[in-house]
C-alpha cells in the first residue's frame, strides 16, 4: 500500500491562497473521479475547509503520484505550479497516516481540540465513497482515523476546556450558576462575540433572551434568532434586574453601566447572583462593579486569561493524544503487515507442497513394489518434513511487528524462496529439472 497526502493549511499558506485552492464549489464527485483518472492514482479523497485543502490518495508510486497531484492542483485552479509548490506539504506512507490521524484528532487544527474537523473529514470520506473513489486503502484508513479521534476525545481532556471567548463565557457562567436552565440573558449590543456567546448559552436551555442595540432593527433581528424579545436601547437599564447573565459588546466608546446603577439593580434582584461579561473595548461596564457582592464581572482580558489557562491544559492533553496516535499507527501497521504476510505464507506453503508432490511422485514411481500403507507412510513423512521445515519462517512471518524488521523478513523470505514479487499471484510449480538443479545447488 502506498498512501499519500498533499496539501496546504493555515500553517503553510495565507488565506488568499487557501481560498483559491478551495474545492467548496462545483461537483466534488467530478473532481474526485478526475483525480483517480490520473495515471497511477487508484483512490482519492479531498478535505477542503477554511484552514486546509488536502488530497488523500493511494498510488502505485508515491513520488510520481505526488508530482501528478501537484500538477493537477495547479492546473485545476489555474495556478502557476511554481507559485503553489512552496506552500505544499507532501507525506507518504507512515508519515501520511500519522498526518491523517492527527488531523482527525484535531491535533493539527488552529484551535487545538476543536471538533469540527472530524465532521468535515467524515463528510469528505462519505463523498469519496459515494463517488466510488474510496477503495481498500481509504476504506481501512479512515475508520481507523475516526477510531483514533474517538480515543483521543474520550481518553484525554483535549476538548474539555474552552479556548474561545464565547465558550469561555459559557464555561464561567456554568461555574457561577451551575445549571443555566431557566436563566434570563440580556445582550447589549450586536457584536459578533456577543452573538456567539449568546448562541452557546441558548444551547444550555436558558430562559428568556433580551436584546438591545442602538439600531432597533438589528436588535429585533437578533432577538428573533434566539426566540427572544428586543428592548429599546435607551431603556435597557430598566430591564437589567430581570437578567441573570448580561453580555455587553457595543461601540459606545464609554461606560454604559456604572457601579451605582448595578448596586441598585442587585438590590432589586434581592442579591441574587448576576454574571456580567463585558467584551467591549473600551469597556461598557465600570470595573468597580466587581466589588459589589453577588456581581461577577469579567472583561475581555479576564476571558483571555481563562482561555490561556485552558490552552495550557489542552496542550498537556495533546501529549497523551500523541501517544494514542502512536498506538493506533502501530495497530494499523500490524494489521497491514498481516495482510502482506498472509498471501506470502500461502505462496510459500503452496510452493513447498508442489515440490513435495513432484519429488514424492518421482520417488514412488521407482518403488512400485511398495504396498499402499508404505506409500502412505512416505507421503506422511514428506509432509511432516515440509511442515517442520516451514514452521520457523511461517511463525516469523505471522509475528512480524511494526518496525523495519517486518519488511526485512518479508523481503528475505521472498528472495530466499524465490517467491513472486506479488505474493497474491499463484505460484507456478517449478519444472522438475529446476527442482533437481536447486537441490544440487543446496547440497554442494
- The sign one gets for the Cα dihedral 324, 326, 329, 333 is negative
pTM: 0.62
Instruction: List, for residues 327-355, the tens digit of each pLDDT value.
Output: 999 888 777 666 667 788 888 899 999 99
Q: How confident is the model at residue 112 (pLDDT cuts 50, 70, 90)?
A: confident
The CA distance from 205 to 202, in Å, is 6
- Domain 3-155: CATH architecture, name and number where available: 2-Layer Sandwich (3.30)
| Least confident span in 259-273, 314-328, 345-359, 393-407 | 393-407
3-state secondary structure of 179: coil
| Whether 309 contacts 278, CB under 8 Å | no
Catalytic member of 50, 66, 132, 194 = 50
What's the pLDDT at 249?
A: 85
Q: Edge-to-edge strands of the sheet including 185-188?
A: 229-230, 209-212, 185-188, 245-248, 274-278, 295-299
What's the pLDDT at 334?
A: 74
What HEC string does 231-247 produce?
Answer: CCHHHHHHHHHHCCEEE
Say yes or no to pLDDT of 250 above 90. Answer: no
Say yes or no to pLDDT of 438 above 70. Answer: no
Q: Find the DSSP H helices in 105-231.
A: 116-130, 136-155, 165-177, 192-202, 216-225
Q: How confident is the model at residue 37 (pLDDT cuts 50, 70, 90)?
A: very high
What's the pLDDT at 60?
A: 82
What number of CA atoms fall less than 13 Å from residue 392's CA on the CB side?
A: 2
Higher per-residue pLDDT: 402 or 429 = 402
Say yes or no to pLDDT of 109 above 70. Answer: yes
Say yes or no to pLDDT of 315 above 60. Answer: yes
| Least confident span in 36-50, 313-327, 423-437 | 423-437
Output the nine-digit C-alpha cell for 5. Answer: 497526502
Axis crossing angle, helix 300-365 with helix 136-155, rounded to the nearest 10: 140
The CA distance from 135 to 187, in Å, is 51
Q: Does the structural domain 165-293 have CATH classification 3.40.50.720? A: yes
CA angle (165, 171, 173) in 5-degree steps: 105
What's the pLDDT at 145?
A: 95
Residue 50 bears catalytic tag: yes
Say yes or no to pLDDT of 435 above 70. Answer: no
| Whether 275 contacts 296, CB under 8 Å | yes
3-state secondary structure of 183: coil
Say yes or no to pLDDT of 165 above 90. Answer: no
Sorted by where each begins, the domain ranges of the chain are: 3-155, 165-293, 336-443
Say yes or no to pLDDT of 431 above 50. Answer: no
What's the pLDDT at 304?
A: 83
- Average pLDDT over the chain, rounded to an integer: 86
3-state secondary structure of 38: coil
| Whether 154 contacts 123, CB under 8 Å | no
| Whether 6 contacts 97, CB under 8 Å | no
Instruction: List, for residues 373-409, the tens digit of each pLDDT value.
Output: 998 999 999 999 999 999 988 887 777 654 555 667 7
Amino acid at each position: 500500500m502506498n498512501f499519500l497526502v498533499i496539501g496546504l493549511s493555515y500553517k503553510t499558506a495565507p488565506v488568499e491562497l487557501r481560498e483559491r485552492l478551495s474545492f467548496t464549489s462545483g461537483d466534488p464527485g467530478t473532481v474526485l473521479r478526475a483525480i483517480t483518472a490520473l495515471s497511477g492514482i487508484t483512490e482519492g479523497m479531498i478535505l477542503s475547509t477554511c484552514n486546509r485543502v488536502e488530497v488523500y490518495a493511494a498510488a502505485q508510486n508515491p513520488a510520481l503520484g505526488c508530482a501528478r497531484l501537484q500538477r493537477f492542483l495547479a492546473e485545476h485552479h489555474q495556478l502557476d505550479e511554481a507559485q503553489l509548490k512552496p506552500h505544499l506539504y507532501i507525506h507518504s506512507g507512515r508519515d501520511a497516516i500519522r498526518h491523517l490521524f492527527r488531523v482527525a484528532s484535531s491535533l493539527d487544527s488552529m484551535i487545538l481540540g476543536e471538533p469540527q474537523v472530524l465532521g468535515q473529514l467524515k463528510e469528505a470520506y462519505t463523498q469519496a465513497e459515494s463517488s466510488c473513489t474510496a477503495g481498500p486503502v481509504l476504506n481501512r484508513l479512515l475508520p481507523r482515523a475516526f477510531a483514533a479521534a474517538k480515543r483521543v476525545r474520550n481518553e484525554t481532556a483535549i476538548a474539555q476546556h474552552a479556548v474561545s471567548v464565547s465558550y469561555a463565557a459559557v464555561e464561567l457562567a456554568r461555574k457561577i450558576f451551575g445549571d443555566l436552565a431557566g436563566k434570563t440573558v440580556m445582550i447589549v449590543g450586536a457584536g459578533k462575540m456577543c452573538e456567539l456567546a449568546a448562541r452557546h448559552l441558548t444551547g444550555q436551555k436558558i430562559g428568556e433572551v433580551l436584546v438591545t442595540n442602538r439600531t432597533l432593527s438589528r436588535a429585533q433581528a437578533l432577538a428573533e434568532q434566539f426566540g427572544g424579545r428586543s428592548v429599546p436601547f435607551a431603556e435597557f437599564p430598566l430591564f437589567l434586574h430581570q437578567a441573570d447573565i448580561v453580555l455587553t459588546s457595543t461601540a459606545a466608546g464609554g461606560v454604559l453601566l456604572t457601579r451605582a446603577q448595578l448596586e441598585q439593580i442587585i438590590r432589586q434582584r434581592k442579591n441574587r447572583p448576576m454574571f456580567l461579561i463585558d467584551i467591549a473595548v473600551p469597556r461598557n461596564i465600570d470595573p468597580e462593579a466587581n466589588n459589589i457582592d453577588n456581581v461577577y464581572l469579567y472583561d475581555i482580558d479576564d476571558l483571555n486569561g481563562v482561555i490561556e489557562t485552558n490552552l495550557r491544559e489542552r496542550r498537556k492533553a495533546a501529549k497523551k493524544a500523541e501517544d494514542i496516535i502512536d498506538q493506533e499507527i502501530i495497530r494499523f501497521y500490524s494489521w497491514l503487515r498481516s495482510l502482506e504476510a498472509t498471501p506470502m505464507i500461502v505462496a510459500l506453503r503452496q510452493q513447498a507442497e508442489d515440490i513435495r508432490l513432484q519429488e514424492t511422485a518421482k520417488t514412488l514411481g521407482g518403488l512400485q513394489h511398495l504396498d499402499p500403507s508404505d506409500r502412505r507412510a512416505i507421503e506422511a513423512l514428506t509432509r511432516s518434513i515440509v511442515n517442520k521445515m516451514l514452521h520457523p519462517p511461517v511463525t516469523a512471518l505471522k509475528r512480524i511487528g511494526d518496525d523495519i524488521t517486518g519488511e526485512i523478513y518479508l523481503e528475505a523470505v521472498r528472495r530466499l524462496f524465490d517467491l513472486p514479487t506479488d505474493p497474491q499471484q499463484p505460484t507456478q510449480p517449478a519444472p522438475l529439472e529446476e527442482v533437481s538443479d536447486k537441490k544440487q545447488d543446496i547440497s554442494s
